[in-house]
Amino acid sequence: MVKKIIILLVAIATILPMLSLRAQDPHFSQFYANPLYLNPAFAGTAICPRLIMNYRNQWPSISGTYVTYSASYDQHIDAISGGVGLMVNTDRAGEGTLTTNMISGIYSYRLTVNRYFSIKAGFQASYFQKNLDWQKLTFGDQIDPKHGFVFNTNEKLPELKRSATDFAVGLLGYSESFFGGIAVHHLTEPNEGFISVSKLPMKLTIHTGGIIDLKKQGRRYRRRRIEDPTLSPNLLYMQQQNFQQMNYGLYFNKYPFVGGIWFRQNFQNPDALILLMGFQQSMFKFGYSYDITVSKLSNASGGSHEFSLALQFDCKPAKKRVRTINCPSF
């Protein structure tokens, strides 16, 4: 186990110097409720078919809010020794001034190292299109000192659509009580500029956590059940160009309820305190989180609201026993 952790840390140290960060991707506070967006290696980790939908409304009190939608499907397939996934995302910035649509196909390969530890390696190929609504933009030459915006602009109309392919890779290691992974998105740094070249910066994500069993008595010879109460401390680090962000927090699970508290900061300034409530029953999971902004925007932003809905379907048992990952669902 120690050797595997050392290998993972060496991989992280190798990739970190490659990143020199420009724009940032949309993010989700319930990052484990959108696992394929976090790391492509999560494809198929639930074994049976899984459908997930996410909605985030960031800073609703500010004009020009950011709204992000996401939907994904994934499952494990014995014949290809891994999982497949499909993900669709839409991000609307500035009340639709800039809209980004993306569709991704994902494959992850599973390797069982021993009876206690498994590794998954994922690859993601995406196609995205950015659309600019020119009518929602305003320029200085449109302003009349007395009457405000009354003139037509002389600014040159740029290309209003930009599309490109994008790629990502991820690695995930997990046992019954530990999980950790690393993902690198935008490997080719595609051009997303409308007027001049503006490359989408590479993004590094590192996430890790564990499961602390609060009811070990009497289960020495059986596996943990979903009804057993647990605590799950977690860390998430993200870097994109010069922007760095750290999330650290804790989940408490007492079936069918889940509660969580997180703190997010960008190393220079605190950003938000995140409160989470979740409910899971049979094949159904629902989560709501609220970001309490603690930065200088706290009085004006209105925080952020996020909802997640997951449907976990049943399926026939795999021919070979496949370990599922024991990580939070929100």
To 5 degrees, how large is the angle CA 76–CA 204–CA 241?
150
Q: Is the pLDDT of residue 87 over 60?
A: yes
Rounded to two decimals, what is the model's pTM? 0.87
Looking at the chain, the whole-number percentage of residues with pLDDT higher than 90 is: 57
Nearest CA-CA partner of 224 in 211, 236, 235: 211
Q: Where are the beta strands (DSSP E) in the chain?
A: 50-58, 66-77, 82-93, 98-112, 118-132, 143-144, 148-149, 161-174, 178-185, 203-210, 212-213, 230-240, 243-254, 257-265, 270-281, 284-293, 304-312
* 106-142: pLDDT as tens digits: 999 999 888 889 999 999 999 999 998 877 777 776 6
Tell me the backbone φ, ψ of residue 271, rounded to 5 degrees.
-115, -60
pLDDT of residue 269: 84
Mapping DSSP to helix (H, G, I), strand (E, B) and coil, where does residue 118 land? Answer: strand
Mapping DSSP to helix (H, G, I), strand (E, B) and coil, where does residue 16 land? Answer: helix
pLDDT of residue 184: 98
* Across 288-307, average pLDDT: 82
Nearest CA-CA partner of 38 in 160, 255, 192, 184: 184
* 245-260: pLDDT as tens digits: 999 999 999 999 999 9
Nearest CA-CA partner of 326 in 240, 231, 248, 244: 231
pLDDT of residue 217: 57
R_g of the chain computed on alpha carbons = 21
* 176-211: pLDDT as tens digits: 889 999 999 999 999 988 888 889 999 999 999 999
Nearest CA-CA partner of 190 in 160, 166, 168: 166
Q: Are 297 and 22 in contact (CB under 8 A)?
A: no
Per-residue pLDDT band at 64 (split at 50, 70, 90):
low
Quote the CA–CA distance of 49 and 314 in Å, as a whole number: 7
Four-CA torsion 276, 262, 294, 204, nearest 10 degrees:
-120
Q: Are 205 and 173 in contact (CB under 8 A)?
A: no
Query: Hey, what domains does the chain have and what are their CATH numbers?
Result: 2-312 (2.40.160.40)
